[in-house]
Chains A and B, each alone.
Chain A
Amino acid sequence: MKKSKSLLLMFALVLVIGTVLAGCGGNNNNANSGTNAAATNAAGNEGSTNTGTSGDEKLAADQTLRVNLTAEPPTFDPAQAQDSQANTVLKTMYEGLTRMNDETGQAEPGIAESWEISPDGLVYTFKLRDAQWSNGDPVEAADFVRAWKIVLDPNTDPTAPYAYQLYYLKNAEEYYGKKVTDFNEVGVKAVDAKTLEVTLKAPTPYFLGLLSFYTYYPVHKSVEGNTKWATNKDTMITNGAFTLTEWTTGQSLQVSKNDKYWDAANIKLAKIDFSLVNSGATELLSYKNGELDRAGAPHGEIPQEQIPIVQKELPNEFQRKGIASTYYYEFNITEKPFDNVKIRKALAMTVNRQSLIDNVTLGGQIPAYGYVPPGIAGADGEFRTAVKDSYFTEDTEAAKKLLAEGLAEEGLTELPPVELSYNTSEGHKKIALAVADMWKQALGITVNTVNQEWAVFIDNRQNLNYQIARAGWTADYNDPMTFLDMWVTGGGNNDTGYANPEYDKLIADAKASSDLAARQEMFAKAEKMIIEDDMILIPFYYYTNNSLTKEYLKGVTLDFSGAIDFTRAYLLEH
């Protein structure tokens, strides 16, 4: 009896503690509930971009920036890098011939201080500025030739996975395929120490922008014969604003100011400390706790459902910026029932995009009815401004009719259960469940959502082993081509099985043309084909980057694709 009594006492105690804890939560909730559902606005850019220094700002004594990376960059070898996290860090350590101007989305001088382009758009002659490597050696044209040779050499061990990013150069693809064995025939030549001549295969209006990409970065001569140079901070000689000073795998990274950088006078940060936590909840808590100066996209993550909350709580720190990426579902159009365009259209027309954004994704994304996102340059200004994405509308009644017609064509009375696959992620899961329910309610079809581990998912999708699959595409460069050339017949990233000779021709013509207006028209036609005519994919929304920046942190910039540049950042006294 005695035992039971004291146990009951303890049990009661525990319940009391539990209630108190719950009470704490409750208070918080009262302060915030009711605000979240209504919190989303019409999309667009919110918050300031914090550029420029005004006179009365006082710099903090400790210029150490602390940010988190959700994934550790697998490598710091520009030739081997492949992901956005590597991009974030490499951007601080290296500088290419050009830099991306984050305001205009256009290239501006980097290591090259000026250039000339031949009238046919094929030959670029770059004049290099007096820049130095972190060990004091001058940055010369030969450093670019060396770097590009490493990328294009099939015998590099391991071979550069992004070698094809350099296929714009004359004979580059042939050199990789060993059809050309002499690298001198490839379109890059060091005329003298400070002059680099680049010859292209075809006119490429966005080539200057490409040069700011990490695969085009130069490397120091010490890398020759040392395959492990990028695995050790001591052998990493870089030419950017910062150098790698600390690296504990899985734990932390640190870059420190490179005094030899040509523009060192304008670099105010002394150090950037990167933590490597892959939990958005932890990152946000660290930020709120003052352990981080910036949180959220693109380097980190704010948990989806907390976005509307932090937007209310920290309005001065919250920033939203549209980026050039599209979220969509694609169809396997080679198999029944989605070989029928009417059925595909019916599904596309019954997704309530605004409701999805307001209630599920919560990030203020922009509803998408086309494929090329805003922010991508067109002939004059943005492509999306010139070419409206009014390819279809959401219309349940029309969709029902289309579905009925489609089913009749297929000889079906009702659609068999459909499988919708997505890769493991809270965000994708919520969208999949919400969309499955929308289709069920609007069209009465049964949708089974299938969650797959990432590589399995990619493998299945690339092998057309799916019915409907989640997908997203981010710009590689600032041109509609990066979104449209993937849908050509047999294209490496064409996971829908779409094959349309007419489309292929449009893309081929656009690739050969240097007439910006004509290209834009061709792109518009191509986009209409894959959306309005054939609906090989269902666009959902154009991405936004949501982030939190402490008010004392200034000068962090994001480019059109959402890539972040910390180099010109600085911390105010706080």
Chain B
Amino acid sequence: MASDKKLVSQDASLKPEDFRKIGIDERQAEVIQRESLSAWRDSWERLRQNKMAMTALGILGLIILAALIAPLFSKYNYYSNDLLSTNKPPSSEHWFGTDDLGRDIFVRTWYGARISLIVGLAAAAIDLLIGVIYGGIMGYFGGRVDNIMNKVSEILYSIPYLLVVILLLVVLEPSLGTIILALTITGWITMSWIVRGEIMQLKNREFVLASRSMGAGSKRLLFKHLLPNAVGPIIVTITLSVPNAIFAEAFLSFLGLGVQAPVASLGSMINDSLTGWLYYPWRFLFPAILISLTMLSFNIFGDGLRDALDPKLKK
């Protein structure tokens, strides 16, 4: 398999004058860093040219904006019942119709989107932070450190998730924070494993060896070389981490462990509407379309971002 080990990361833009003989010197190492900065700028240019990804980004922006301000434009709130107008189809009075307690679905959908986004983004951010650090350390150091940390993550992972969640929602007051906590308690592990796998794969590559031989320390290697190069898979994982968290919350709603009513999330709204969706499709469709659109946008944007970050696919 030695023949596979070709130089793979040689950048075509390098010219002979870029090469200088350098010794083991912190100051000199900055040169490498500047190189990667311009690579980020390059990626942004590429991303901007990807219309699909930018459209997805735009839609995401709109969804977030609407989730924040749309409820303000309605005279209804998300919790007040109107038992005399339950399950009404969309009309000029209620743009998205009303639900089984006569609550306005327009307001609830955007309010629910807000809650879902908060859950998704917060959980993904925590997953990312813990997962990257944890996985990076595992993958980079390998050996005993990896072994022990991997065991710890494996043990956490093998604790049946439902039990942890029920327990947390019982021991702590059931709230948005508890749900986010419950989702992240095992959610970061997948991220850490992916980072670990990537780093393990990358760390024996020639450019890393080269950098090491030029005197780069562990921290620098990890954060300036390994992680940026592992960014593709990390991003693919994040774009799934957000929807995963949003879905996991929906899953909890399905088991009756979701957000406390009358607070709504897109997942809990879909779940509430599921038994009668044939008869009251608007109760199901609006949150379902919004949740799917959100997922779609995250995914398309994530793909675009990935393509943009990976110069190998430039052509």
Contacts and interface: CB of A to CB of B under 8 A. Distances in A.
Q: Do chains A and B touch in the complex (CB under 8 A)?
A: yes
Interface of A: 3-4, 7-8, 18, 22, 25-26, 28-29, 32-33, 36-37, 280-281, 303-306, 309, 355-356, 358-360, 424-426, 429-430, 432-434, 437, 449-451, 453, 456
Contacts of B153: none
Interface of B: 50-52, 79-81, 83-84, 86-87, 89, 100-102, 166, 169-170, 174, 256-257, 260-262, 272, 274-281, 284-285, 289, 300
A437 B81 contact: yes
Contacts of B276: 303, 305-306, 309
Given A434-B83, A434-B101, A28 B279 contact: yes
A305 B277 CA distance: 10
Give the one of B51, B83, B276 with max A CB within 10 A: B83
Nearest to B281: A25
A4 B89 contact: no
A426 B50 CA distance: 45
A355 B102 CA distance: 13
A433 B279 contact: no
A18 B274 CA distance: 17
14 contacts: A7-B52, A25-B278, A25-B284, A26-B281, A29-B278, A29-B281, A33-B89, A280-B275, A303-B276, A305-B275, A430-B101, A433-B81, A453-B169, A453-B170
B280 A306 contact: no
A451 B83 contact: no
B119 to A, nearest CB: 17
Contact of B285 (A22, A305, A359, A424): A22
A437 B81 CA distance: 6
Nearest to B277: A25
Nearest to B81: A437
B261 A303 contact: no
Contact of B100 (A33, A305, A356, A432): A305
Nearest to B273: A305
A25 B257 CA distance: 29
Nearest to A7: B52
B279 A449 contact: no
B260 A451 contact: yes
Contacts of A309: 276, 279
Contacts of A18: 289
Nearest to B89: A33
A4 B272 CA distance: 36
Nearest to A435: B81
A305 B100 CA distance: 8
Contacts of A33: 87, 89, 279
Closest 4 CB pairs of A and B: A25-B281, A424-B256, A303-B275, A359-B83
A418 to B, nearest CB: 15
Contacts of A26: 281
Contacts of A29: 89, 278-281
Contacts of A355: 83
A355 B52 CA distance: 50
A487 B137 CA distance: 62
Contacts of B275: 280-281, 303-306, 426
Contacts of A425: 256
Nearest to A302: B275
